[in-house]
């Protein structure tokens, strides 16, 4: 089922037909990766990871992403699978996934691979986002939207 022009919902991983698969939850980190894929105009499958069922902590998922968080990207491209002993290549952490994708699909203006100064400037802002802004906003979301409604007193948090 189509989600966007480039994204397809993948209910069962056995039904995969596209080389790029994004394991994602409804979180800002997953949205960042989906945004890059959309900007790159890359067709991809989305496999939903249900955080309420702790699917990100299951052993099968932890083999792909040992930190047990979303997102995770699998690349099944022929050239990648050949180099990776027949297995897809797994990339985790949103910043690493975005860097991987912009390097893989180099014919874009998002990541100028030949200009070290521009590349450094992009990396500075990316690292600032993933290490500073992202965690601060994530903590705020957790305490206001997730933790607060399930407790009788926020002071306990």
| CA dist., res. 22 & res. 34, Å (int) | 8
The answer to whether 74 and 21 are in contact (CB under 8 A) is yes
Task: Please give the mean pLDDT across all residues of the chain.
Answer: 89
Q: What is the pLDDT confidence band of residue 13, given thresholds at 50, 70 and 90? A: confident
Q: Looking at residue 114, what is its pLDDT?
A: 80
Radius of gyration of the chain (CA): 17
User: Is the pTM higher than 0.75?
Assistant: yes
Element (H, E) at 64: helix 59-64
pLDDT digits (tens, 9 = 90+) for 110-131: 777 788 898 888 889 888 888 8
First-last CA distance in the chain: 40
149 has a pLDDT exceeding 70:
no
Average pLDDT over residues 85-112: 90
20-71 pLDDT, tens per residue? 999 999 988 999 999 999 999 999 999 999 998 999 999 999 999 999 999 9
What percentage of residues in the chain have a pLDDT greater than 90? 60
What's the rounded Cα separation, in Å, for the pair 127 and 134? 10
Q: Is the pLDDT of residue 157 over 60?
A: no
Q: Which of 4-8, 10-14, 34-38, 72-76 has the lowest mean pLDDT?
A: 10-14
Percent over 70 (pLDDT), the chain: 92
CATH architecture of the domain with residue range 1-111 = 3-Layer(aba) Sandwich (3.40)
CB within 8 A of 108, min separation 6: which ones?
Answer: 39, 40, 102
18 neighbors 37 (Cβ within 8 angstroms): no
Task: Name the DSSP class of 77.
Answer: -
d(CA 88, CA 81) in angstroms, rounded, equals 5
Domain ranges of the chain: 1-111, 112-157
């Amino acid at each position: 089922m189509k989600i966007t022009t480039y994204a397809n919902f993948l209910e069962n991983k056995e039904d995969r037909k596209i080389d790029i698969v994004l394991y994602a939850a409804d979180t800002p980190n997953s949205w960042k990766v989906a945004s890059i894929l959309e900007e790159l105009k890359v067709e991809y499958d989305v496999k939903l990871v249900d955080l309420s069922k702790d699917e990100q902590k299951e052993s099968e998922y932890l083999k792909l992403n040992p930190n047990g968080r979303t997102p995770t990207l699998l690349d099944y491209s022929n050239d990648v699978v050949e180099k990776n002993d027949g297995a897809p290549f797994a990339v985790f952490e949103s910043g690493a996934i975005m860097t991987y994708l912009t390097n893989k699909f180099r014919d874009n203006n998002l990541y100028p691979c030949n200009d070290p100064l521009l590349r450094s400037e992009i990396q500075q802002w990316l690292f600032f986002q993933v290490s500073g802004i992202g965690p601060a906003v994530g903590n705020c979301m957790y305490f206001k939207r997730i933790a607060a409604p399930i407790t009788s007193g926020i002071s306990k948090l």
